Chain A
Amino acid sequence: MRALYWVWRRELQVTLRAPIIYIVGGLFLAVQGIAFAGLVGVLSDPRKPAPLGALLEGQLAGTLLTWVLQLVVLTLLGMRTIADDKRGGAWELLLTAQVGEGAAVVGKWLAAVTVYALLWMPTLAYLGVVALFRADGGGWDVPSIACGYAGAIAMGAALLAWAVAASAATTTSLAAGALGFGLLIVIFLAGELPSVWPEAHVPAVLSVRAQLVTLSRGELALPAVVLVVALAVTGLSLAIALACAGRRRDTGRRVIATGIVAVIGALALAIATRHPASWDVSAARRNSLDPETRALVAALPAPATITIVEPTLGALAPIYDEVARVADRMAHAGPVRVTRVDPAALPGGIPAAARLAGVLPHDLASNGAVIVELAGKRRAVDLLQLADIDASGSIAQVAVERALTGTLAELAQAAPVTACFTTGHGELPVTHADKDADWSAVADRLRGAGISVELIDGAPPAHCDVVVVAGPAAPLSADDAIALQAVVARGGGLLVAAASRPINGSLAPTGLEGLLANEGIGITDAIAVDPSLAMRELPGALLVFDGYAAHPVNAGFERARPTLWYEPRALTVSGGAASLIRASAASWGERDRAHRPEQDPDDLAGPIVLAAVGSSAGGAPASGSAAGAHRVIALGSAESFATSLLAGGASAGDLWLAHAIRWLAGKPAPAVAVAARAPDQVKLVMTAGQRRAVIALCTAGIPLAWLLLGGALLLVRRRRA
């Protein structure tokens, strides 16, 4: 240890007295400054939200460009450590002074690592810039920052071992530099290969940048630690073997030992990849699953699959990276399999995935989605659930874990829901019919959501949680109505979708008008007309985007998911009944269906109600599942939920119906108490002048200050000596 310490100290002394180190340092700081200037540009742009990620995460992990330049710096630091000494004879002098090759190599490597660590120190000034200009909100998360810096230095140290090995292999710095840079670039690019060539069978764990991202998020992951240690130990072992080459008789044994070390390192990396334990050192515990999530995943009744559908919008990549991280943690906590796919590669392509998510195909393509499957049930989670985006387009909250956990909880819910569809009155069938005039898409959606679909003829059996009357062409009989009244009375749910298609020139009654009236809901013969919601491609249709009332059934729909209504009948609500979905204030209920719609005093005044919830349940819209409560929902148009309309992809009607039936059954999605969290990155508030000053300071000021400081130190020393 004495020899090691004095080799380190002497090497450090000599290195810090050499002018070249200040030039190398200036280059390093200029590269870091340019990267930080880019980050400042993004963080201070008022038009763009702060990117997701820990403070300085991108800075510490680097980009391809900054890494190439960093590899140059590492090469410059490592190339002269041994090669120069060999050429000048100092190596001989060192190894005849009771210093073994191991101590000499490790001591010189440690000195280079110390210098590399010193080069990082001026970059702490970047934190000062952030402190000076940051907007309110967000913490500093000092442990994550410390972990990121330690990771960057440790990774540099591991790579330096290979630059030192190159130096040990040659007797000229130039050759050592060329060989060292070659080795480093091979190691680095090997890790980057999967991102540019996914078919290459290179483990992602080899990615230097990916591991640094993990570390700078405050996640001390075992694979990252093993990669650093394996690279460093193998590099140093190789350096020692090369330092002995041509001089020691046991060089062959040392080379074999290096090979064994490399194999052990590879095996350790493979084991760490299969069992990727990690320690979350972040202040906000951002890298750990919520205990509720862990408990849920551990107790899943069957293996679950999380399919991440990649967005084409590059700006959303950080959100989906977070999705992948959370999903991976879930995969390690229980029987969850995670895949990332291109949406076009999904069965049915983008339209099918969009249908599942209840969003428009082009929105899904650009925004991505996550499809969660469990025991034959499927649920899509889209961007709107993964992150709360405020009016300015900034990400106000990240809710990835909450969304995934909630979806898994919903799919894993043991309590089954049975929806019984009445038949025999000309209802729209739940199987395929001519011209897609059916509710088969709705039935598929319900089954995918874990809701059993049954057909009934006559009085509903006791196991029916919800009875659905889907657009009857003929009114239900009084006996049927009484039977349904009994269902509602015993706490069952009833969904009545009135037929809005003319039957023999008129709108058919449902036969349930009395029952609905008791609930405060009326189905009129007026057709809702709303010029402001009209679609040019489909005359008579209304596209509702922001007419959703605050009700559990509508969760996630307001200004997020459209429902398309084709010539719906206007509903009326009275007493305690409430509107669920309504057209705009510009709408009216057109009573004259024989002529072109035109608002006149005879028409119903807007805003027209398209879907309503009955009085008993409507009074407590947010409570969810009070047993025994009347639960009745009426829709002004069964045809608006027909497959022919849903197939266009413009309507999330089937998803809305699944919500409605689950609510009617009194078995809503389980509440998940996983908190959303604020994005970790901060916004900088600065004027254009301040931004220019900061960029100039980081790209030129700090590197120049380093150069001047080094020059001044050398000058003072030379004057003294």
Chain B
Amino acid sequence: MLRLDGIRKAYGARIALADVTLEVAAGEAVLLVGRNGAGKTTLLRIATGFLDADAGTATIDGLSVASARTRAQARLGYLPEHAPAPAELTVREHLTTRARLKGRAGDAVATAMRAAAIEEVASQRIGTLSKGFRQRVGLADALLGDPPLLVLDEPTSGMDPIQTRELRTQLIDAAKQRAVLVSSHAVADLEAMAVRVAVLREGSLVACDTPRALCEQTKVERLDDAVMKLLEPAA
């Protein structure tokens, strides 16, 4: 579904991504982990077409994100970090205009709200919602029109444990039968939904495998320990 091939990106002299190749298949959730500044958000932005790569190709369902951006984006649901939404609009108003913007069908809003379990706050202004609900509104936005690919950037960032657990449940449901690429620096939060874990260190993909395989590779029992080991600078 999503294929990133030889992606390179530099900000001036600083290399943000160096020849990253990653593929996310339908029905597969890939957890992208790395330290702050490792290049996770940059990779997701290139995958969604917000940012052009300096080199390499990104395709969604075979469509180049660079040359057929809007058609590729039609197959994409994206939740950026902090799930921005206008505080003055109600949840329904926000999602309705987002659905129109994306050219989604009229019932897409109701379906997305149901999937994200936010129907009870549909008439509330977004500015009055808790952080957890706002993330869910963002998730509903990403789910509008039932896109086959979900890209989620730090979906649990800044949330308390209860909110994180609630959102995780929604994410696990949403990830079924979709390709999902989700980034997080908190491995434990999203470990349960990950089929594979991709580890990004200083712009380079140092590992991409199932959680079990990573644990075996690093000879530890827990995934977060494995990730920590993989993130240590090379000797």
**Residues of A with Cβ closer than 8 Å to B?**
2-3, 6-7, 9-10, 13-14, 17-18, 85, 88-90, 92-100, 247-250, 718, 720-721
Contacts and interface: CB of A to CB of B under 8 A. Distances in A.
B73 interface: yes
Quick one: which of A6, A9, A92, A250 has the most chain B CB within 10 A?
A92
B50 A247 contact: yes
A393 B93 CA distance: 62
B90 A3 contact: no
Contact of A93 (B52, B84, B88, B100): B84
Given A89-B84, A92-B45, A721 B90 contact: yes
A88 B49 contact: no
Contact of A6 (B73, B89, B101, B124): B101
Contacts of A13: 89, 93, 97
A247 B11 CA distance: 10
B117 interface: no
B84 A96 contact: no
B78 A93 contact: yes
Contacts of B73: 96-98
Nearest to B88: A17
A96 B78 contact: yes
Contact of B97 (A9, A89, A92): A9
Contact of B100 (A6, A85, A89, A247): A6
B191 interface: no
A249 B10 CA distance: 12
B76 interface: yes
A93 B89 contact: no
B111 interface: no
Contacts of A721: 90, 123-125, 128
B52 to A, nearest CB: 4
Contacts of A6: 97, 100-101
B107 interface: no
A96 B101 contact: no
Contacts of B83: 89
Interface residues of B, number: 35
Given A88-B82, A92-B50, A99-B70, 13 more contacts: A2-B100, A10-B97, A13-B89, A13-B97, A14-B88, A17-B88, A17-B89, A89-B84, A92-B84, A95-B49, A97-B73, A247-B51, A721-B90
Contacts of A10: 97, 101
A249 B102 CA distance: 24
B103 interface: yes
Nearest to B79: A93
B54 interface: yes
Contacts of B84: 85, 88-90, 92-93
Would you call the interface of chain B mostly helix, strand, loop, or mixed? loop
Interface string B54-75: 1000000000000001100110
Contacts of B81: 89
A97 B88 contact: no
A6 B97 CA distance: 7
Contact of B98 (A18, A95, A97, A720): A97
Given A2-B103, A88-B84, A92-B80, A249 B54 contact: yes
Contacts of B123: 720-721
Interface in B146-179: none
B55 to A, nearest CB: 10
A20 to B, nearest CB: 11
Interface string B80-118: 111111101110010001101111000000000000000
12 contacts: A2-B103, A6-B100, A10-B101, A14-B86, A17-B89, A89-B81, A96-B73, A96-B76, A247-B50, A248-B52, A720-B123, A721-B123
Nearest to A5: B100
A720 B89 CA distance: 12
Nearest to A19: B88
Interface string B124-141: 110010000000000001
A46 B139 CA distance: 68
Contacts of A2: 100, 103
B183 interface: no
Nearest to A249: B52
Nearest to B85: A90
A475 B125 CA distance: 108
Quick one: which of B88, B97, B128 has the most chain A CB within 10 A?
B88
Contacts of B78: 93, 96-97
Enumerate the 9 nearest inter-chain pairs by beta-carbon distance, A residue then B residue, closest first: A17-B88, A89-B84, A90-B84, A98-B70, A10-B97, A721-B125, A96-B48, A6-B101, A249-B52
Contacts of B45: 92
Contacts of B101: 3, 6-7, 10, 94, 97-99
A7 B86 CA distance: 13
A95 B76 CA distance: 12
A145 B98 CA distance: 39
A90 B52 CA distance: 18
Quick one: which of B69, B83, B93, B101 has the most chain A CB within 10 A?
B101
B230 to A, nearest CB: 28
B51 A98 contact: no
Nearest to B73: A98
Nearest to B52: A249
A9 B73 CA distance: 21
A2 B83 CA distance: 24
Given A2-B103, A14-B86, A97-B102, A247 B141 contact: no
Quick one: which of A2, A95, A720 has the most chain B CB within 10 A?
A95
Interface in B186-231: none
Contacts of A85: 84
A197 B70 CA distance: 51
Contacts of B80: 89, 92-93, 96
B35 to A, nearest CB: 21
Given A89-B80, A718-B125, A96 B89 contact: no
A211 to B, nearest CB: 36
Nearest to B94: A10
B50 A95 contact: yes
A500 B89 CA distance: 96
A100 B97 contact: no
A97 B138 CA distance: 13
A14 B94 CA distance: 9
Nearest to A16: B88
A450 B22 CA distance: 93
Nearest to A88: B84
Contacts of A88: 82, 84
Interface string B2-45: 00000000000000000000000000000000000000000001
Contacts of A720: 123
B114 to A, nearest CB: 20
A98 B52 contact: no
Contact of B141 (A92, A93, A718): A93
Nearest to A89: B84
Nearest to A18: B88
B180 to A, nearest CB: 16
A554 to B, nearest CB: 75
